[in-house]
Amino acid sequence: MPELPEVETVRRRLVPVLEGRGFADVEITDARLTRPLDPVEVARELEGERVAVVDRRGKYLIVRFESGRALLVHLRMTGSFLHDALGQLPDDPHRRAVVRLDDGSDVAYRDVRRFGTWLLLEPAEVDAYIDARVGREPLAAGYRARHLAEELKGRRAPVKAAILDQRTVAGVGNIYADEALWRAQIHPLTPAAALGPDEVQALHRGIRRALQGGLRRQGSTLRDYRLPDGGTGGAQHEFKVYGRGGEPCERCGTPIDKIRVAGRGTWYCPSCQRLEPVAGEARRRL
């Protein structure tokens, strides 16, 4: 599933394509994309809207219109965009929607697994909808370790489950959670509330570094991740643990192990990321 680095990379590519452009003609051919709303009706509502800003919060792409309305796109597993400047898209059985822009170009949305969603929100709904679902942006300049500490405080859940919760920190998914925990040298099953201040600091840094690394490589290409110009990302070549079961840890040489945490495949180094017995103050907090 695309996580913050992937969605942010897509956003950056969509900015020059969409900003300032009008939606001249919209066709939504998959009812799952807009359910429970009628796709034909949503398409009609979108026609005539002009894009002010292409924004992102967590894993949501937010196409903000001059009218104040916003189209919230979640790519889920396999959603992607393709821009064709000439308005001559090749055939694609997995295409779910096409937006013809007022410069004659087309922006197509494809989604093999069909879990992605398009939600059109009225001006008064946008911020409340996002704020109820998405926590702080980890790459924002003002994001501090104390913000992460506040979110982890009192939570018995494994730290990996806690940081997968989008309200803890925005945009971290299964890949970058594992990468961040390896960087911080924290076992993914450590209860969130048992982390000491130094560990929270290390995790804060680990999350930011893992995401920045992904962003630098234009995201990771697993399954169907594609950029709007058809390109792919290369971050998968730099994963430290994710998907690397049995390979040596870059730090200590121990083979990377795979377990399940919160129902998700989880990779970690059994030497660098030890599960410490919960002690002292941390236990009392639990």
Which one among 85, 128, 140, 252 touches Zn ion, defined by CB under 5 A?
252
> Given the rule CB under 5 A, which of 120-128, 137-145, 227-235, 263-271 is the region that contacts Zn ion?
263-271
Minimum distance from CB of 241 to Zn ion (Å)? 9
Task: Find the residue with minimal CB distance to Zn ion.
Answer: 249
Considering beta carbons, is residue 165 or 257 the nearer one to Zn ion?
A: 257
Q: Give yes or no: 258 in active site.
A: no
Minimum distance from CB of 43 to Zn ion (Å)? 51
Considering beta carbons, is residue 136 or 240 the nearer one to Zn ion?
A: 240
Instruction: Write the single-letter amino acid at 10.
Output: V
Closest by CA position to 188, among listed 201, 197, 175, 170: 175
Size of the site for Zn ion (CB under 5 A): 7
Radius of gyration of the chain (CA): 20
Minimum distance from CB of 269 to Zn ion (Å)? 3
Minimum distance from CB of 282 to Zn ion (Å)? 23
For residue 105, count other CB atoms closer than 10 A to its CB. 19
Using alpha carbons only, what angle is made at residue 17 by residues 15 and 19, rounded to the nearest 5 degrees? 55
**At a CB cut-off of 8 Å and minimum separation 6, what does 31 contact?**
38, 39
Q: Could you say whether residue 140 binds Zn ion (CB under 5 A)? A: no
Q: Give yes or no: 270 in active site.
A: no
* φ/ψ (deg, to 5) at 21: -95, 150
Q: Which of 11, 13, 56, 59 is catalytic?
A: 59
Q: Give yes or no: 160 in active site.
A: no
**At a CB cut-off of 8 Å and minimum separation 6, what does 279 contact?**
none
Minimum distance from CB of 158 to Zn ion (Å)? 19
Which one among 28, 148, 180, 272 touches Zn ion, defined by CB under 5 A?
272
Task: Please tell me whether residue 126 adopts helix, strand or coil conformation.
Answer: helix
Q: Which of 76, 205, 264, 270 is catalytic?
A: 264
Q: Rounded to an integer, what is the distance from CA 69 to the centroid of its chain?
A: 22
**What does the alpha-carbon distance between residue 172 and residue 185 come to, in Å, rounded to a whole number?**
17
Six-digit token string for 80: 């992607």
Kindly identify the residues of this chain, within the stretch 192-251, that bind Zn ion according to CB under 5 A: 249, 251
> Given the rule CB under 5 A, which of 67-75, 136-144, 200-208, 252-260 is the region that contacts Zn ion?
252-260
**What does the alpha-carbon distance between residue 275 and residue 266 come to, in Å, rounded to a whole number?**
14
Residues making contact with Zn ion (CB under 5 A): 249, 251-252, 254, 269, 271-272
Catalytic center residues: 2-3, 59, 264
